[in-house]
Chain A
Amino acid sequence: MSTAIVELLGASKRFGGTQALNGVDLTLRKGEVHALVGENGAGKSTLGKIVAGLYAPDSGELRVDGVPVSRWDPIRAQRAGIVMIAQELSLVSQLTVEQNVFLGAESSRLGVLKRGTTDRFRALLELAEFDLDPKAPVGTLSIAQQQKVEIMRALARKARVIVMDEPTSSLTAHETAQLHTLIRGLREQNRSIVYVSHFLDAVLEVADTVTIMRDGVRVRTAPAAQETKSSMVEGMLGRELSVTFPPRRPSVNESVPPLLTLEGVTTAAAHDISLQIRPGEIVGLLGLVGSGRSEIARAIAGADPITGGRMIYRGTEVSRWNTRKAIASGVVMVPEDRHAQGLVLERSVKENISLAFLDRFSTLGVISSRRERAGAQELADALSMRPPRIGLDVGGLSGGNQQKALLGKWLVGEPDVVILDEPTRGVDIGAKATIYRLIADLAERGVGVLLISSEHEEVLALSTRAHTVSGGTIVGEIDPATLGVSDLLAHLFSVDLTIGATA
């Protein structure tokens, strides 16, 4: 056993009325990749943030290199060589790669910047084996490249421990593989990684040790080799549960008139989109991140102006389509980013659920709080939100419950066409099952569903039909019932290559 760098003994942390951590032990050893897994709200992120000094434990002991530490904050953690890479990357997008890497650690004399940090930068590049242009503005880079910048920033601070919070949540499968290669490289340099994630496959692939959290308590710590996906899920949930998909909906007869037809629809970000959605159908859009899936969704939802082609809804061609018209006529989109696009975090669950359909709960512009409360409560109960108190601020809920609130917000209007963009992003397994059932129920009731997800397995398991998307347009149709995820990925990547070649 190699030496312990960070040790936590009986660490507890409380936020207001929530006990986020309760007497947790953790030992992080030199040169190990230590994964923290658990449902949303289990305390895995909090634990990671304590290691990185973002939070100090309320009680319990923290030892760094065997020495008990009494005061703990990000600066002390950095001095001890512990750096955090947050889920929302914290780079300054206007500054260049190099400026970001050395931000706060600039070489200067009496505050005047020294020229020629480039050597320092090149040494770091070699250490990390990256290919980044030091002069490129960070805002122009992909998320995966920005993550590399974050890692270099950690290395520039001579980090021995890097805490990564959900590092793969915005990455494609390919980029995830790259990140994992990189993490293994860091491990070989005897650095330690704390890997907070709910992507269990990724955890199994890269971690040496896994700590499973549930309700702020450590369930167990074990070598990753001894864990399987189902053993981890069991530990996280405290019971056995396999992610089961509801039975696939039967395909809808082509003679049924479509609810929505797109003929060569073009917007600023998507072009020449043709597709149909019939009542009771779940149509999947499969593609890599950045392929244009969300842009197609935005066009249908009226979020981006349509500049070419025709969109026919219930037999009538729409004109001057916008979000207001779309919502009023029953076409809604559950957007992919619930924080940036979906919810008003400082407002209550009730207000969030009713926001898009206030007309239903008001007379002549005056809101009936009785009707609003009843409507919101009904959705909150139907989605089994925890806690079921609609007066709470949405921002204080766990990710899974926020996602349920977001779904409730759009379903409260009883829409006819629902576009679901990443409906299960960042939610725990229990919430996922609820959401899958909900999607199937919607189709059962005759709603037309357009389903987009980076978890291709979901799309393949739920869809009645599916299209592949690349370069901002639809490139093919596949039968989700016969295609496996690995076939699909091969398909998607080859499609990307051909597009790249012809462009």
Chain B
Amino acid sequence: MTTATATPTRISRITPASALLFLRDYAVLVLLGIILLVLAIATPSFFTFANIVNILNQNAPLAIIAVAGTFVIISGSFDLSTAAIYAVCSVAAAWVAVASGSVVLALLMPPVIGMLLGAFNGFSVTVLRVHSFLATLASSLIFKAIAVLITGGALISVPLDGFSELGRGRIGGVFYSVIILFIFIAVMWFVLNGTVYGRHVFAVGGNQDAAQLSGVSVDRIKVAVFAVSGLAAGIAASIGVSRIASGQPQAGEGLELAAIAAIILGGTSINGGMGAVWRSVAGVFLIALIGNGFDILGFNPQLKNLVTGVIILAAVALAAVGVKRR
């Protein structure tokens, strides 16, 4: 592109073109607003404290994974192994709980294990130079196998008192998981936008060669984003395993794709270099509310995936409008 065509960042007049640009950049918020409005009008029970807290609670594990996954996508990589890490962490926590009898130890294990497994992904991507898509696809097979080996294929029930407190407990009517989610969002938002590390994540995803020549340790940044992604899967697993008080190797199936879908739906660029934490959170809850809406309004639940898929496709297609013409 040699033509100097400045992209307007501030729009003073509302023209069809500027409206389209706004819609392109904030499609997820517009959609979220529409669906909130529809649900609020259709069902008075929607905007109740209990319902909102429930939706947040149900989706906290996915949202935590998607928030960390945003870093991976912005840095120009993919992490397809978060569901498998979630599974390993779940069964490991259950196993440790049963073996040691310590709830605290059991629930602190998953974040640590998750971070290590994530770092292993980072190692495959940087040292072994395997494309992240393939590296995490392969590692998720390995991790799932480990989860099966730990349990012998069965389910590990945790009969300990207090083990379910993290996943089910509340303080002042708000679930612990929701509080953890909000803290995690705040921390990750700050790390991405306020720190040198966050800036380097953007640079690596935007132009890896330029980042390298700017003295950024590209490999270290990549290992770190995968470690953070693994950490998030571990935190999510702690909440999830505590909630159902049992570890099973099938836990978390489909989480990895749901997270990536939410990230992209939120408007983070699949090509790297652009994105935001709030976008992924909005993406997660947009998908969640579509599901919630189906339940509340009594629509045919068999159409849920169809509608979700169409909306994701439409949002991503909209994001591509104008990019071509730039």
Contacts and interface: CB of A to CB of B under 8 A. Distances in A.
A49 B325 CA distance: 12
A347 interface: yes
Contact of B197 (A333, A365, A426): A365
Contacts of A165: 2
Interface stretch (A112-120, A242-250, A387-395, A449-457): A387-395
Interface centre among B7, B8, B207, B210 (most CB of A within 10 A): B210
Contact of A397 (B4, B202, B206, B274): B4
B214 interface: yes
A18 B4 CA distance: 8
Nearest to A87: B2
A356 B215 contact: yes
A244 B207 CA distance: 35
A83 to B, nearest CB: 18
A393 B203 contact: no
A398 interface: yes
A114 B127 CA distance: 44
A327 to B, nearest CB: 4
Contact of B214 (A18, A323, A340, A397): A323
Interface in A387-414: 387, 391-393, 395-399, 401, 409
Interface in A301-341: 301, 303, 323-324, 326-328, 333, 335, 340-341
A166 interface: yes
Contacts of A367: 194-196, 199
A16 B273 contact: no
Contact of B203 (A18, A355, A392, A398): A355
Contacts of B207: 340-341, 343-345
Interface stretch (A26-34, A38-46, A181-189, A254-262): A38-46
B215 A347 contact: no
A351 B199 contact: yes
Contacts of A354: 199
Interface residues of A, number: 54
Nearest to A301: B213
Contacts of A335: 210, 213
Contact of A323 (B17, B206, B212): B212
B3 A20 contact: yes
B6 interface: yes
Contact of B212 (A303, A328, A395): A303
B196 A341 contact: no
A359 interface: yes
B4 A344 contact: no
Contacts of A358: 196, 199-200
A342 interface: yes
B214 A347 contact: no
Interface in A359-401: 359, 362, 365-367, 369, 387, 391-393, 395-399, 401
Contacts of B297: none
Interface in B204-225: 206-207, 209-217
Interface in B165-214: 194-197, 199-200, 202-203, 206-207, 209-214
B273 A344 contact: yes
B4 A41 contact: yes
A20 B215 CA distance: 36
A16 B203 contact: no
A477 interface: no
B6 A17 contact: yes
B129 interface: no
A65 interface: no
A441 interface: no
B212 A166 contact: no
A346 interface: yes
Contacts of B1: 395
Given A347-B273, A365-B196, A367-B199, A398 B4 contact: yes
Contacts of B8: 16-17
A355 B6 contact: no
Nearest to B202: A347
A343 B206 CA distance: 9
A45 B211 CA distance: 29
Contact of B17 (A16, A345, A346, A409): A16
Given A16-B17, A344-B206, A367-B199, A323 B5 contact: no
B214 A356 contact: yes
A15 B206 contact: no
Contact of B2 (A16, A166, A356): A166
A343 B213 CA distance: 10
A80 B163 CA distance: 74
A22 to B, nearest CB: 14
B9 interface: yes
A481 to B, nearest CB: 32
A46 B6 contact: no
Contacts of B273: 344, 346-347
Contact of B209 (A16, A341, A393): A341
Contacts of A342: 210, 213
Contact of B195 (A323, A324, A356, A366): A366
A341 B213 contact: yes
Contacts of A409: 214
B258 to A, nearest CB: 26
A396 B6 contact: yes
Q: Which of B196, B213, B326 has the most CB of A within 10 A?
A: B213
Given A328-B215, A342-B213, A355-B214, 19 more contacts: A16-B7, A16-B21, A40-B2, A41-B3, A87-B2, A323-B215, A341-B207, A342-B210, A344-B210, A347-B203, A347-B273, A351-B199, A354-B199, A365-B195, A366-B195, A387-B6, A396-B6, A399-B2, A399-B4
17 contacts: A15-B6, A15-B7, A16-B21, A18-B6, A303-B212, A323-B213, A341-B209, A345-B206, A345-B207, A355-B214, A358-B196, A362-B196, A365-B197, A367-B196, A387-B6, A392-B9, A396-B6
Closest 9 CB pairs of A and B: A41-B4, A398-B4, A344-B206, A15-B5, A356-B214, A17-B8, A327-B215, A324-B215, A396-B7
Interface of B: 1-9, 17, 21, 194-197, 199-200, 202-203, 206-207, 209-217, 269, 273-274, 325-326
